[in-house]
Amino acid sequence: MIDVLSALLVLAGVGFYLTGSIGLLRLPDLYSRLHALTKADNLGLGLLVAGLALHSQELLTVLKLLLIWLAVLAASAASAHLIARHARRQETTS
């Protein structure tokens, strides 16, 4: 039962990663693409981490997975903001 649930979570996570990549390819401009990447990847990794945590059920491993999720979130939010800001500044000054 837990295995099934954990597999479903991982699959859903992969689905959102796929969505993020499709968005990256289909969306027309830099800002919209950043939307797809930040949001879909956050949820994708979150589901992946939830699935793996359920699978391992070892406290230290679960904590480590959570730490990885937080680190990736911080990095992706910060880099998305920096990319958007840089693009925006070039647009408005040139």
Q: Is 55 in the site for another protein (CB under 8 A)?
A: no
Please report how close the Cβ of residue 48 comes to another protein at its closest, in angstroms. Answer: 12
The Cα 37–Cα 23 span in angstroms is 7
Amino acid at 62: V
The Cα 15–Cα 12 span in angstroms is 5
DSSP label at residue 1: -
| Residues in contact with another protein by the rule CB under 8 A | 16, 19-20, 22-23, 26-29, 31-32, 34-36, 38-40, 42-44, 46, 60-61, 63-64, 67, 73-74, 77-78, 80-81, 84-85, 87-89
